[in-house]
Amino acid sequence: MNAQPIFEGSFRDAPPDAVLECGVCWWRYEPEWGDPEHGIAPGTAFSALPETWSCPQCQAPKHKFMVTRS
């Protein structure tokens, strides 16, 4: 049986190493990888991303992301 992600709530309360998924396209932001294509260094917590950052896949705003754990 595959473990499904559990959505835990707002990124504002997330620990720095939390993985988040876009609620529109399900793209995952993993802090250990960052978003190098958009100038976000590996190790950058989601909460530290600029407010203007958006999903690289569908351009959804930050508030559309949900904290997950497997």
Q: The pTM is what?
A: 0.79
Model confidence over 12-69: pLDDT tens digits? 677 888 999 999 999 999 999 999 999 999 999 999 999 899 999 999 999 899 888 6
Helices and strands: H and E segment counts in the chain: 0, 4
19-22 and 6-9 strand pairing: unpaired
Structural domains in the chain, sorted by start:
6-69 (2.20.28.10)
Alpha-carbon distance of 66 to 23, in angstroms, equals 7
Alpha-carbon distance of 24 to 33, in angstroms, equals 21
Per DSSP, what are the bridge partners of residue 66?
A: 21
